[in-house]
Structure 1
Amino acid sequence: MKKKIKNFWATFMFVVFFIFAPQTQSASNIIFTEIMYNLEGTDSEHEWVEIYNNSDSEIDLSNWKFYDGDGETKHGLNIFQGSIVIPKEEYVILVDKPEIFLEDWPEFSGIIIDSVVNLKNDSDNIKLFDSESIEIDSVVYQNDWGADGDGNSLQLSGLNWIAQIPTPGQVTAEENPAEDPEPDPEEPSEETQPIAEPTPTTGGIILPKTAYPENVKITEVFPNPSGSEEAEFIEIWNNNNTSISLENWKLSDKSKVITLKAITLVPGEYKAIYRSTTKIALNNSSEIIYLYDSNGNLVDEVSYSSTIEDYSYSYDIKQDDFFWSSTKTPSSMNDFTNPNNLPSAVINFSNNPVAPKEIFTIYADNLYDSDNDNLSCLWEIGKNFQANGESFKYSFNDLGEYIIKLTINDGHNEVITTSVIRVLNSVDVVYIRSKKSESTGPITNTILTLSSLATTTGQIFITEIFPNPEGSDDAEYIKLYNPNNFDVILDNWTIDDQDGGSKPHTIQDRAIKSRDYLILGKEETKLTLNNTFDEVRLFNKDEHLIDSVLYDDVKENQTYK
């Protein structure tokens, strides 16, 4: 795009010089070549403009001014990196905040000029003035030209502005080099040779406009919506500098393959393809998604081993990796809002064991939340006692073992942790404490130190279904798995088969230990699973779908995993 627009502009300005009015050398040779006016996410302090010295000599920009379309103010140019004297055929970046620009583009080593760059997102008129306040160049851009918050910038290509991946201080693949003039037909030369077709180069100056399938990528997967499953989608991105047709390409998961029809992606376009089109039911547990070109070549694949409800699995271009984000961006560049992490704490006691009627302190030790959310603590002992706060004092009248329950709430998640305290007769308590003071370390008791995290929310997977046992159907079962590092309490969760099937079963008094399995048999669930085709679904206590598995044509006495 930018490189050697020199020949074109030199000729154009030469004509202007003689026909219209005399101008300075700078007026003929400094032009706008790239505008980053609407970044993805926040624009403030991240916007920038590129200019180019299209001459055969250096140009001093001292006392030049830049107008960013904001009122009548012309802003000064202050050198931040490099020299204010611009070498020939060199690019310069005008930025609002140089430090922020270098954070966005840490490998940039070219000339940076500090000015005021506050560009409008719909339409704006930018101008450049020399030291004598003569207008050198101006551009009126509009957001319907492209680069409107999709990660691209506006870039000059010949006489046209186009949207492309930003290239501050560099030439781009869109530029077409000036061709050598053809010989005069009246004066043929025997030495004239045919002009070769442009070929790709590693310098990024001459590149054919060819669409490469390997530059098409799966960039977002939304497998577990909180509402209708029809909201599921798979997003595809064209990272070519030209349009590409996906006619007869194939998209698949582990159980279904579909052929794409009538889809063409323009350069840089993101396209979300919804479940209503693909008929692909994305698993809430592990899944692999494949993309094949029309020749059957594997172009891309994306896999995940678990999901978070209402989060999308999104590709981060800068980190070249996928992350879960609560911000869904179908058919547009990804934005990231990370999942809220669970709080944690350990129940501790000023003394354990204690004697009857002895007052002791119960407190939340190592209370922590990585998101710095405000935490609340609710304590429960039996059915009749509750307390709030990080600690409280208590005493027991009777001997025995008592479960202390702590519920930590960060406004997003509830985590339950429990511990056990023993109430012994006074003689035993005195003896144990005396032994502790004599030993080099405390006497441990697995009953006393037992502490486990548990929550009423979390990802649980349906990992195995046995719908067609040999003989009686009473042997049918559904197996669940807890992949988390905490226990999950399943009280008031429900499990059922497809709509219109058996009555949903509400789970009571059940929990799954961390990284453990739980089998729910037909005797408990009362679910009648079809042998040919059915769907098993698991909902949490808030009636949000946690996992679902479709199966068909299961052979007798075989499980579906």
Structure 2
Amino acid sequence: MEGNKRTALFLLGALAAITAGVFCCARTSLAETSSHIIINEIQTDGVDDKNEFIELFNPTDKSIDLGGFKLSKKTKTGSESLLLSSVKFLGTIHAHGYFLIAHPTYKDALSADLAYSGSSYYISNDNTVLLYDKDETLLDKVGFGAAFDFENTPAPNPNSKQSIERNNFADTDNNAADFFPNTSPSPRNSSVVEEYEEELENSGDVPQDEPEKCVTSSKDIRLNEIFPYPQSGNEFVEIANIGETCVDVSGWKIMDEANHKIVFPENSAITPGGYLFLEGNLYFNNDSDTVYLLNADGNTKNEALNNQFYEKAQKDFSFSFDAGTWNWTSMLTPGDDNVIEIPKDSSDDIKTSENYSSAEKVYLNEILPNPKDGSDGEYLEIVNDEGEPVDLYKWTIRDASKTGKYVFEDHTIVEPGKYFVVYRPQFKIALNNGAESVYLYNPTGALVSSASYDKAPQGVSYNFDGQNWKWSKYLTPKKENKFDSPPVVKIKKVKNSYKNLFTEFSVSAKDKETKKLKYTWDFGDGRKSYLAKTSHKYLATGKYRVTLTVRDDSQFVEKRFLVKVKKYPRPDLEILKLLPNPAGKDSEGELVDIRNNSKKKIDLEGWKIATGSASSKIYNHPISEELILNPGETKTVTREFSKFSLNNKAGKVQLVFPDGKIADDVEYEKEKIADDEAYIKLNDEWIWLMPNAPKDGAETATDETDDTTDEEETGEEGEVLGVLDENAPVARYKPGFSPEDAYIFLSQINFMKPAKETNYTPMSNPSSSIAYLLSLLI
């Protein structure tokens, strides 16, 4: 046997908080051994006095096992006490990821990964928070206020409903320099991982061959050994790679019948012919249970790639797969080839007879768990896909319960390609309308077919199409299965998604046989929506797996995709000009000029013009239409794009990012603002400028302005609204092209030499503007 042994991959690392005490194991360690975890954010007083949290961050490139770590605090007198003991400190903090620890009563949009060891434990101002690894080595400490212990200088105390947070993960061993008060705490748990753009450096080294790339999806991974009843120590489950390609099973899951999920950690790869096993408390029952293997996208029993039922587990025996069948064995072989040693006291239970048929191509084909005419109408259908007749004598059907079992005690022959149906009065198994599993075993005890569902619609059967199980409103006992058409689903691609901003999600779906479809969006952060077109706000950056489920009367279609949530960018935009008192109606002439100083094209739709006064409340007015600003371009925003109103004596104007941050702001005040007098930014200074008087015979508009909100007006037919040329007149706003306008324009494009002093007095004769421009260039 030594010659046949394969070297198994050995991975150490605790899993997520739900996998308390579970380890992924084989022969050599690949896990991160150095622990550079830092305390990243602390809140001592939230919505209530116990809504406190401590956020950890892992700045390294590998996930770190937190098993055996310890979190404690020191009071301002130096007394140290536990917050989270090493016994209860379990889980994994991902590379560039977060881990959230909080008081047991803590509530927020993102739940805590772990709670303090006791409800009487708490932190307060003037404390120190200390983090130790499993070897009692102090990894990090943060003292704040009048703390007894700190790094160099203590950080400030966080105010009520605020936190202290590291400045871009800085760790200079100076708490005061590393932390800043955060007025909008943003606790993040282990579901959030920061994304970085890696920079490639030319080191001059000789390029090395890349290691073999592993696929992340494969049908060649199966359950191989289950150890559910240890006399002492841990349970384990082993999977095997029977294919010819390396498979990365990071994020794959092991699940029991009660839906406990255990997740394989990062860097869990299995080479062809290799094994990988999880060890710990896997929640397996000692009497009977079903074990499911799901890939990273799978969440339900119906999505399992492989499953195995066991019963009559004995202490220190594993249920192992060998030569096409499952058997109990006293030889435990995690990470190695299975060895079947049949226990003497159970040999009678597994005796086989040459008269029994153990055909492999006999399987469950249709299940009706919730008939409209009562439970007696429940049925199970078996199909013989072998090339010869099959006798079902001593075959067994079981459900997920401990007692649901039906054994074929008579010789029942099923001809090739034919179906056999057994009804509820015969098999005596009550099929659940909720979550249920059905298993078919041959006389040797080997599982040959199974099906699992979460919820059974009434009058709809569960059918096998040769690869997958599907619901169908067509009932076909003893006939070939018939399926109704699934919905045709098309999702509108998500362009951008930003933290604290609503992301739009939209789907169009059609179904040939069902008019009314049902939609379920799972946004990957614990929130859902049931509308075809909806929006969702993510509270933290990171990658989120979004799942859309579209259902008709019997079938459903699931679509999954990743959404990358980023911080909203901060392009350099500034306000250059205000016209608070135009000639004529304010609603037709008020404007704000905005310049794009960045190197990227910016769409101002969703931005806001906020107006008011320095002493009063500021009101946001969204820009409601597309308004593109190219790099270096200046455009005018009018009331047609944003329903703002500028005060005629004193006011405050802000340009606001979509996420509420201020890009630029301007305050102005003047006792009497003349008609068409503009407030303009020139050489980083704001000045008031008067336009030229209108030409002889030009229409004179009547000033109808006041200090109150202006009446909403619409532009004339055919007019281009909102985007104005610098020289194009606005309706009822017709100043001449003045020297001041020329000076501003030439200054903006750096086309003129500096002048020590310039007379800005308006010229009475507009025709002399050309001579004025020439004098500036000489």
Normalising by the smaller structure, the TM-score range is under 0.3
Using CA pairs below 8 Å that are at least 6 residues apart, which structure has the higher relative contact order?
1
Q: Which has the higher helix share?
A: 1
- Structure with higher Rg: it is 2
- TM-score, normalised on structure 2? 0.19
